[in-house]
Chains A and B, each alone.
Chain A
Amino acid sequence: MIRCECPKEAVSQSNFSPGIVANDEMIVYALVNPLTSSVGQISKSQLKEARLSVCRASYITGPSAKQKTVDVLLASNVTRTHEGYLKATCEEIRGVKLGRSTTGAFCVIDDALKDYSAHAHLGYSEPSDPKLRNDRETARANLMLVFKKRGVSTVWAGDPFIK
């Protein structure tokens, strides 16, 4: 289903991608302190740029997912710590609305890398109207509720990681 607020969702963004992100896919958001461990710490600037990195759990093994999401961040700064991961279905993420409208607040866009085909981006949907500031704040907070619904997981296992 094509969503007007997320035109990029409808077209695969990378030659390395397994395809556009389907609603039934599980999306993993790695928690690395201090980058992403606190309740509200989903970077707004990354959401605005549609560059919040997440992992498509159907297209990667558990250990590889950890390597690509957590280990990379830990390697670049020794003060960081790994605190597990959150997960939500793509449908749940796309189901977060902007204010009282029926417009989806977030887009889930495939953005596979050559050595990381399960890579995807989350971003705010269009338009980027400053008057929607409170609605976007609300959407971000509700996105965290969606992610937190299943709790924090710490086991990076499975092939695929999560089916």
Chain B
Amino acid sequence: MNARLALLGAMLALVAAGGRAATESPAAGTAQGVYSAAQADAGAQVYAGRCAVCHGADLSGTWEIPALRGRFVGNWGRTPLAKLYDYLGHAMPQFAPGTLEPPDNVAVIAFLLRENGAPAGGRPLPADRAALERIVLDPVTPH
């Protein structure tokens, strides 16, 4: 009996947790300032050292390599940043996948957000997958 009650309690707790997670996300969009300017600067350094060799110093890519402007927002738009964080973490840089450390990974994301017109905010983007799950990439208005 006690065991059954405990099991039921555990199940209720799971349901409650699941329900809470569902109502909490997404909590923010990149239009709200989800990275810091200093973090984007750091990300620019990481980008120059690890990404620019393929994607170009100006992020424009080539016929073969995806651009990280414009179409980039189209490809990742309305997607939680956690997906981008995971992808960069396990697939990039392609010549050394899995070598982007979490702080560098979020710094690069901050840099990409800045380069695609998302505003900086007061706090850096956390290298925390759960937090990134609650932030989606918002559309931007080009100039």
A binds B: no
A residues neighboring B (CB under 8 Å): none
